[in-house]
Amino acid sequence: YEEFGDERVRDTPISEATIAGAAVGAAMAGYRPVAEIMYIDFATLAMDQFVNQGAKNRYMFGGRTTVPMVLRTEGGAGRSIAAHHSQSLETWFVHVPGLFVVTPATPCDAKGLLKTSIRDDNPVLFIEHKMLYKTKGEVPDEEYLIELGRANVTHQGDHLTIVSYSRQALNALEAARRLDQEGIHAEVIDLRCLKPLDIDCVVESLRKTGRLLLVSEAYRNANVVCEIAMRVNELAFDYLDAPIRRLCGADVPIPMSPVLERAAIPGVDAIVAEARGLMA
C-alpha cells in the first residue's frame, strides 16, 4: 500500500462474495485483479461469483471478453485451528471448466507461478498451504515465469513414482530420501498445478517405475487424485506392475486437537509406509 496507494491496493470488508464479484467485474473491464480470500474454507461464500461468473463468462460471451483474475487463498491443516479453517477444497474447483488451480510447494515456484497466473487470461485459483509460509528457499531476483500445467520431478528414482502437490509434495520428497536409505528409490513428482494437469509427466515416470502412489491432503472421497488414477488407467495401464495406491486425508472434519489433526492428514511416516507396501 505504501508503494502503490489506494489506486491499486484496496482494503475491503471481510465479504468473500463481494471480493470475488468485484474481481470478476474488474477483470472483465480490462484489469488484472489479484483478490485475496483468507481461507479456502470461505471461498465457498464466493462460489457463485467465481464459479458461475468468472469461470464461465469468457465462454458465454463467445470469447469477446476474458476474465484474467487471480484468487489467492490458503488451504490445508497443521495449525490446530479446527474444521472451519483447515480444509483442502482444491478438488471442488478442479471440477469447474474454465478455471485453473495452482498449488505451489516452494518459494521459487510460488513466485514464478503467481506471475504466470496474473498474466494468464483465465481465472486462476492460487492455493498456498498455510504451513508453507515459513518455508525458505532460493528465489531468483531476475524475471522468470513457470508455465502452468508443467510438473516438476524433484527426486529421481526407478522403483516407484510418488505424485503429490503443495505441502504433501515436500513430505513426499522427505519420504523419498528416507526410502533411499532402505534401497527403495522413489521418483517424486510435484504437480504444481492441478489444472491444467501434467499427466504426461506422470506417464513418462511410470514407463520407468511401474508403480504409482498418489498423495493428497484433501478428503479421500472423490479426491482429485482419483482423476489422476483414472487417466493413468486410460493412458498407461500397460506400464503398471501393481495396483495404484492413494494416500489422502481422512473423510472427517479436521480436528482441533494436534494429535487428532496429525492423524487425519498424511505425513512422512505414512507415505513411507505406503511406499513400502507398494513395493512388497
CATH number of the domain to which 102 belongs = 3.40.50.970
Closest CA to 33 of 56, 12, 48, 47: 12
Asked whether residue 109 is assigned to any structural domain, the reply reads yes
Mark whether 113 and 29 lie in a shared domain: yes
Mark whether 17 and 91 lie in a shared domain: yes
Where residue 177 sits, what CATH number does that domain have?
3.40.50.920
What is residue 3's DSSP assignment? T
Handedness of CA 185, 229, 44, 7 (dihedral sign): positive
Can you spell out the DSSP letters for 125-169? EEEEEGGGTT------SS-----TT--EEEE--SSEEEEE-HHHH
Mark whether 120 and 197 lie in a shared domain: no
Q: Which of 74, 85, 90, 129 is catalytic?
A: 85
Mark whether 10 and 99 lie in a shared domain: yes
Q: Which of 3, 7, 16, 234 is catalytic?
A: 16
User: 268-279 and 166-181 are packed helices; what angle lies between their axes, rounded to 10 degrees?
Assistant: 60
Asked whether residue 241 is assigned to any structural domain, the reply reads yes
Domain's final residue, options 104, 132, 160? 132
Cell 474454465 -> residue: 98
Asked whether residue 138 is assigned to any structural domain, the reply reads no
Asked whether residue 174 is assigned to any structural domain, the reply reads yes
The residues facing 35 across adjacent strands are 71
CA distances from 242 to 161, 209, 210, 239, 279 (A): 12, 10, 7, 9, 9
What is the C-alpha separation between 149 and 245, in angstroms, rounded?
A: 23
227 catalytic per annotation: no
Question: What's the structural domain count of the chain?
Answer: 2
pLDDT of 7 reads: 84
pLDDT of 160 reads: 99
Mark whether 114 and 183 lie in a shared domain: no
pLDDT by position in tens, the chain (length 280): 888 888 899 999 999 999 999 999 999 999 999 999 999 999 999 999 999 999 999 999 999 999 999 999 999 999 999 999 999 999 999 999 999 999 999 999 999 999 999 999 999 999 999 999 999 999 999 999 999 999 999 999 999 999 999 999 999 999 999 999 999 999 999 999 999 999 999 999 999 999 999 999 999 999 999 999 999 999 999 999 999 999 999 999 999 999 999 999 999 999 999 999 999 9
Domain that holds residue 125: 5-132
pTM: 0.96
pLDDT of 143 reads: 96
85 catalytic per annotation: yes
Mark whether 198 and 124 lie in a shared domain: no
pLDDT of 6 reads: 86
What is the C-alpha separation between 158 and 216, in angstroms, rounded?
A: 22
Q: How far is Cα of residue 57 from the mean position of the Cα atoms in its chain?
A: 24
Mark whether 71 and 172 lie in a shared domain: no
Asked whether residue 137 is assigned to any structural domain, the reply reads no
Asked whether residue 240 is assigned to any structural domain, the reply reads yes
Report the first-to-last Cα separation within the chain, whole angstroms.
Answer: 56
Asked whether residue 147 is assigned to any structural domain, the reply reads no
